[in-house]
């Protein structure tokens, strides 16, 4: 089963293919944007474009889809297009490259079998040291059949740098800074603030925006999408996605995160009264004392989406001043996401966040 179609991102695609055609495409890229906007699918599209026999030389708008490279890439089996993303930690502390490739191959096949409509990896999965070591070793090899090699690293903020892995971390940084000839690395992240500064300084960032309504309409009309979402009202789906269609397939864990995010927004909007203060205190207390990664990070991601949807609704209703205040709150949430990477309790983070949101949202 091939990868699902890529919807939207026409302006970004135009810039990327122009750079590729002119030989100006950086060898190390970082696609950043809200969770669910299609960053990894866009990265895989670019990987296929770079490996296609005709795309760059003939300045095609998309990969040709007919050459052997395209056929292999679309089925997720091209030996020179490698897709890495968070996976469970290996039980074997020192798996070899073939073990890592086999594990990722099975996971990719599962995503393809689900029509490419998959939930984000749980907080327990990561890009562990063994996986990054395998990537580094693979990047040192010559291409198997194409003119170059492309590595797509999804959810790059999940790179785990412990386990005394300074040597691997340094090797990966060197790889980003000076990839071998013909090697292109495309990292994606929904949490750029959680990436190590040493990584961000070695890549060229590309912002991947949310999809406009027309592209969202096309996505929802897709047969596979329609089958899975047929029971939900159309406008509700558009509002929930907020231009990030992947959000709609996030599973029960993310559904809970969205419910929690809405509770936090309602608490922030509670009035400037003693009762309103109590609401905010209770909402913060419910976030727990530990485990800031995982489910709490999911809640913050969901809160960004909820705020984005609220901005759109306020603009449509003509409440532009309220929309501007709501948009300004997103920076507060992003700042909180960076603090999650440190061992700070979620309830303390939430108490501070809700207080700041309340001051910004309630005149």
Going from N- to C-terminal start, the domains of the chain cover: 10-207, 250-361
Cα 350 from Cα 335, distance rounded (Å): 12
Query: Roughly how many angstroms between the first and final C-alpha of the chain, as a whole number?
Result: 53
Q: List, in sequence order, the alpha helices (H) in the chain.
A: 10-22, 39-51, 68-74, 97-113, 129-139, 166-177, 197-200, 213-221, 223-229, 234-241, 251-269, 274-285, 295-316, 320-340, 346-361
292-335 pLDDT tens trace: 445 788 788 878 878 887 887 888 889 999 999 999 999 899 88
Task: Kindly calculate the radius of gyration of the chain based on its CA atoms and give it in whole angstroms.
Answer: 21
In this prediction, residue 358 has a pLDDT band, given cuts at 50, 70 and 90, of very high
Q: Average pLDDT in the 123-127 region?
A: 84
Collect all residues with Cβ–Cβ distance below 8 Å to 99 and sequence separation of at least 6.
90, 92
Are the CB atoms for 204 and 29 separated by under 8 Å?
yes
Q: 290 falls in which pLDDT band (50, 70, 90)?
A: very low
Question: How many whole angstroms separate alpha carbon 318 and alpha carbon 125?
Answer: 42
Task: Using the predicted structure, report yes or no on whether residue 63 has a pLDDT greater than 50.
Answer: yes
92 to 55, 89, 105, 269: CA distances (angstroms): 41, 9, 18, 49
Q: Which residues contact 188 (CB under 8 A, 6 or more apart)?
A: 30, 31, 32, 39, 40, 43, 152, 153, 154, 155, 156, 208
pLDDT at 202 (0 to 100): 94
Contacts of 223 (CB under 8 A, 6+ apart): none
How many CB atoms neighbour CB 96 within 10 A? 13
pLDDT (average), residues 154-165? 72
Q: How many CB atoms lie within 10 A of CB 62?
A: 14
Of 7 and 251, more confident: 7
Three-class SS of residue 334?
helix
Please check the confidence at residue 167 and state whether its pLDDT lies above 70.
no
CA distance 254 to 249: 9
Q: What are phi and psi of 217, to 5 degrees?
A: -60, -40
Q: Residue 45: is its pLDDT beyond 50? A: yes
Angle at 247 between CA 245 and CA 253, to 5 degrees: 160
For the cut 60, the answer to whether the pLDDT of residue 105 exceeds it is: yes
Burial (CB < 10 A; 0-12, 13-18, 19+), residue 212, is: exposed
Question: Which CATH number is associated with domain 10-207?
Answer: 3.40.50.300
């Amino acid at each position: 089963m091939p990868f699902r179609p890529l919807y939207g991102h026409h302006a970004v695609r135009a810039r990327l293919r122009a750079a590729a055609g002119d030989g100006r495409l950086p060898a190390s890229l970082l696609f950043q944007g809200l969770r669910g906007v299609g960053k990894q699918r866009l990265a895989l599209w670019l990987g296929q474009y770079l490996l296609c026999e005709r795309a760059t030389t003939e300045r095609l708008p998309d990969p040709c889809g007919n050459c052997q490279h395209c056929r292999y890439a679309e089925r997720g089996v091209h030996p020179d297009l490698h897709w890495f993303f968070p996976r469970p930690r290996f039980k074997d502390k020192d798996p070899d490259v073939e073990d890592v490739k086999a594990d990722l191959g099975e996971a990719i096949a599962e995503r393809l079998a689900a029509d490419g409509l998959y939930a984000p990896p749980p907080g327990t999965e990561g890009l562990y040291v063994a996986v990054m070591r395998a990537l580094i070793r693979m990047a040192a090899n010559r291409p198997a059949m194409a003119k170059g090699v492309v590595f797509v690293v999804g959810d790059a903020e999940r790179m785990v740098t412990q386990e005394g892995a300074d040597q691997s971390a340094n090797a990966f940084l060197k790889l980003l800074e000076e990839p071998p000839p013909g090697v292109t690395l495309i990292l994606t992240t929904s949490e750029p603030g959680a990436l190590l500064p040493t990584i961000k300084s070695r890549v060229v960032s590309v912002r991947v925006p949310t999809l406009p309504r027309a592209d969202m309409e096309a996505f929802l009309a897709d047969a596979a999408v329609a089958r899975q979402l047929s029971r939900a009202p159309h406008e509700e789906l558009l509002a929930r996605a907020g231009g990030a269609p992947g959000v709609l397939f996030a599973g029960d864990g993310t559904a809970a995160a969205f419910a929690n995010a809405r509770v936090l927004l309602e608490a922030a909007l509670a009035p400037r009264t003693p009762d309103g203060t109590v609401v905010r205190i209770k909402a913060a207390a419910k976030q727990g004392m530990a485990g800031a990664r995982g489910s709490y990070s999911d809640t913050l991601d969901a809160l960004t989406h909820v705020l984005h949807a609220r901005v759109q609704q306020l603009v449509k209703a003509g409440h532009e001043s309220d929309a501007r205040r709501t948009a300004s709150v997103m920076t507060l949430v992003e700042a909180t996401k960076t603090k999650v990477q440190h061992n700070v309790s979620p309830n303390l983070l939430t108490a501070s966040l809700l207080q700041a949101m309340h001051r910004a949202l309630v005149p």
